Chain A
Amino acid sequence: MSKTEKLIIAIPSKGRLQENTQGFFEKLGLKIKRSQGARGYSGELIGIDNVEIAFLSASEIAKALDEGLVHLGITGEDLLRENIRNTNQKVEILNPLGFGRANVIVAVPQSWIDVNNMLDLDEVANRFRDDHGRRLRIATKYNSLTTEFFASHGIENYRLVASAGATEGAPASGSAELIVDITSTGSTLAANNLKILSDGVILRSEANLTLAFTANWGTNQLNALEKLLNLTAAEQSARQIQEINCSANNLSTDQINMLVDTFNCQLPFGNKPTDKLTILADKTQIFEIVDYLKAAGSKFITVSDLKYIFNHDNKKFGQIVKKLKN
């Protein structure tokens, strides 16, 4: 995979995750072009030079990041935390992408009406061992996450059993007593007579753009990374912010300065009471600001979404370069 001086980005090879990933790149003004024929498992990113796209399954992406076979990858945090030992030393989550949301949870049979939380489960695990001479079995694909979570709650009397197919069916089929699994809506759990413990959310996961520290980072790759990070930072800052343009001839400088003091907003192009004043503000504050401007005498106001905000040095890129040098 790393034959060239190219920045390799691993992305999901199929399904909703792939569509959403393409959407993410499109928002950045970038397009994934898949190679034809036998080389259909790779592609390029139109918009940034020296980037190669590798299409892998979501769990292969976590492993490829762990081994440094790819520079960047898009996959769920659950798979990163589960498959990469010492996750924070091996990889860095650059940005959450807002899709692929799902929680890794502890779920027990609904019929366990005496079990609502992890403390209950601890007590029941101990009793179960005494009553049955064996430990509670937890069906899961998340061995590491489960072990860590249960240890943090001081629960010892359990054992893990591998779940080959549908984990949520294990308690009903008798191959386990409870499960640790990923769920987005919880409806599959309910259909299998299971319930989530009140403090049983192990991880709130979503898809992330993630960087592998152990990959081979040369000049070309760093340049491509910087361009990509500038775009993601610009797109990310633009996500929460909207732009207000208004006629400001009737406003006093004091009234305009009051805006910055009162609301979470900026005046990127100055505070002169001119024909057109531009205000950038957090989405949640827009209508309060509009009301304020109207009251102050502004005759015409528009609000619009922004695509990018390129406003500062890319701090994240600097931090990454520093970490890579260490």
Chain B
Amino acid sequence: MTKNSLNNKITKLANALDYKQVLPNIVQPATAYFDMLGDDLRRRLFIVQDSMHNNGNQDFVLRPEFTICIAKDYLQNNTNNQPAKLCYSGPVFRSDPVTHVCNEFVQTGIEIFAAKDSFKADIETIEYALKALDILNIKQVELKMGDYDLFFSLIQNLNISDIWRKKLRRLFLSHNNLESLLKKLNRPQTVPVNHERAAFLNAIEGLEVSSAQMLVENVLSFSGIDLIGGRSAGEIAERFLEQAALSATPTLPDDILVILKEYFSISGQAINSIEKLNAFNKKHSLKLEDKIIELQNRFNAIEALNIGNFTKDNIQFNTLLGRGFEYYTGMVFEIVDAKKRVSSPLIAGGRYDALAKQLGATQNVNAVGASLWDARIAEILQLDAEDK
């Protein structure tokens, strides 16, 4: 199958499923990418300058993926958040981590914004992904699924302070793998303080933010220091208060660590995972029943799509599945070749309700999407052809 016919088939599918084609610009303002992408992908950005280096503030990049620019265009053109089902296909650009040359890949995919029913939108996203592979005659696939929302609900229900919740959320969003995450969880989560700092923290502990802020302002004005650099006296005071509150317990309480480790060890076939999650939830009284039922419903709805020979048995749930993008908020997924002939995902995506606000919208907009790696799919097709 030629690349073109591959692409045509997927485009036809998107049209049949009612997605409207969008064509965002290849050259994009850089800021959103620097602010939204994880460290790994950020380093691979290609920055565009004119030959006179007139736009010396690194203002533009070659788009490294579609979600951010499509979300930005959507927010700009739909100020009242009309539901939209959009599809795209085109090149994305990332520098090679070893040779540092600019690699160009074709990505094809969909984004669904402001759906009335977000559960349904999740299923529609998986439907598009599985159907795309099915019409290309790729039948042996595994769907890996994770759920950020389940983790966020877990920490919401743990008996810890909001400061700890924020810290755990951050650690989870920036993790690369279980090992790095556990290592980070095991070590003290606050900066060690010296004697002078400890004395200051003692004095400030328990103060209202406004009083602590006044204290910081006074210290600055007595020392004749101008407040520059984008952080307010209030922010500095809040960090002191956090340090003071955490200085007694700089490491995560052991019982909480045990629960987290147990949670992250849960993975496996969809049905087994649900059982494990239920047992885990009951054992620690975490009140996650509703979320687990939702997850189970998701698995059932995917099976009910009845695409090819795909069943729940082809779904692998993993509490740690992350995507290296920090904007995900709910379901995340990757579809891989069941025989693992190509190790990277053929299709990947997830729910990212928080992106709109991060891009400057006044409120969250519910959003979910999927994107296909054309070259990896072509490689599988090639391998299949050789096998025959």
A interface with B by C-beta (< 8 Å): 85, 108-114, 116-117, 119-120, 123-124, 126-128, 130-137, 147, 151, 156, 159-162, 164, 171-172, 174-175, 177-178, 193
Q: Could you tell me the distance in whole angstroms from the C-beta of A209 to the nearest C-beta in chain B?
A: 28
A113 adjacent to B220 (CB under 8 Å): yes
Distance to closest chain A CB from B195 (angstroms): 13
CB pair A177–B231 under 8 Å, yes or no, is yes
Chain B facing A: main interface SS: helix
Q: How far is the CB of B32 from chain A (nearest CB, A)?
A: 9
Nearest Cβ in chain A — how far from B222, in angstroms?
11
**In the complex the two chains form, what is the Cα distance from A198 to B229 in whole Å?**
18
Contact A133 B358 (CB under 8 A): yes
Given A159-B34, A162-B56, A174-B230, residue A112 in contact with residue B236 (CB < 8 A): yes
What is the minimal beta-carbon distance from B42 to any residue of chain A, in angstroms? 7
Shortest distance in angstroms between B203's beta carbon and chain A's nearest beta carbon? 13
Contacts of B236 in A (CB 8 A): 111-114
Contact among B226, B238, B358 for A193, CB-based, below 8 A: B226
Contact B56 A159 (CB under 8 A): no
Q: How far is the CB of B184 from chain A (nearest CB, A)?
A: 9
Contact B229 A133 (CB under 8 A): no
Question: Complex formed: what's the CA distance from A113 to B201 in Å?
Answer: 12
How would residues 132 to 166 of chain B score, 1 for a CB under 8 Å from any chain A CB and 0 otherwise?
Answer: 00000000000000000000000000000000001
**Is B249 engaged at the interface, CB distance under 8 Å to the other chain?**
no
A135–B228 CB distance below 8 A? no
Given contacts A159-B42, A193-B225, contact A130 B231 (CB under 8 A): no
User: How far, in angstroms, from A178 to B229 measured CA to CA in the complex?
Assistant: 7
Enumerate chain B residues within 8 angstroms of A160, measured Cβ to Cβ.
58
Instruction: Tell me, yes or no, whether B202 is within 8 Å of chain A by CB.
Output: no
A156/B39 in contact, CB under 8 A: yes
28 A-B pairs, CB-CB below 8 angstroms? A108-B229, A111-B220, A111-B228, A113-B216, A113-B219, A113-B236, A114-B239, A116-B197, A120-B191, A126-B170, A130-B166, A131-B235, A132-B230, A133-B360, A136-B230, A156-B174, A159-B34, A159-B35, A161-B58, A162-B57, A164-B56, A164-B57, A172-B226, A172-B228, A177-B229, A177-B230, A193-B225, A193-B228
Q: Find chain A residues with CB under 8 A from B360 CB.
A: 133
| New A-B pairs, 4, CB < 8 Å, besides A113-B220, A160-B58 | A113-B225, A124-B231, A172-B226, A178-B229
The 8 closest A-B pairs by CB, nearest first: A109-B229, A159-B34, A156-B39, A119-B191, A171-B229, A134-B35, A177-B230, A111-B227
For the complex, what is the distance from the CA of A131 to the CA of B35, rounded to whole Å? 13
B91 interfacial by beta-carbon distance below 8 Å = no
Cα–Cα distance between A113 and B227 once the two chains are bound (Å) = 10
Interface string of B207-244 (1 = CB under 8 A from A): 00000000010011000011111110001101110010
Would you give the shortest CB distance from B369 to chain A, in whole angstroms? 20
Partner pick for A133 among B34, B235, B357, CB 8 A cutoff: B357
B100 at the A/B interface (Cβ < 8 Å)?
Answer: yes
Contact partners of A151 in chain B: CB under 8 A:
39
Q: CB distance B239 to A161 under 8 Å?
A: no
Minimum C-beta distance from B46 to chain A (A)? 14
> With a CB–CB cut-off of 8 A, which chain B residues contact A114?
236, 239-240, 243
Q: Give bound CA distance, A124 to B360, whole Å.
A: 22
| Bound-complex Cα distance A175 to B31 (A) | 13
* Contact present for A135 and B191 (CB under 8 Å): no
Are B226 and A162 neighbours in the complex by a CB distance under 8 Å?
no
Q: How near does chain A come to B111, taking the closest CB pair, in angstroms?
A: 20
Q: Which residues of B (169-183) have their CB < 8 Å from a CB of A?
A: 170, 174
Cβ of B350 to closest chain A Cβ, rounded Å: 20
Output the nearest chain A residue to B174 by Cβ-Cβ distance.
A156
- Residue from A108, A133, A175 whose CB has the most chain B CB atoms within 10 Å: A133
In the complex, whether B190 has a CB less than 8 A from a CB of chain A is yes
How many Å from the CB of B44 to the closest CB on chain A? 12
Q: Is the C-beta of B268 less than 8 angstroms from some C-beta in chain A?
A: no
Min CB distance A140 to B, Å, is: 11
Across the interface, do B35 and A133 meet the contact criterion of CB distance under 8 Å?
yes
Q: Which A residue sits closest to B31, measured CB to CB?
A: A134
**Docked pose: A135 CA to B170 CA in angstroms:** 13
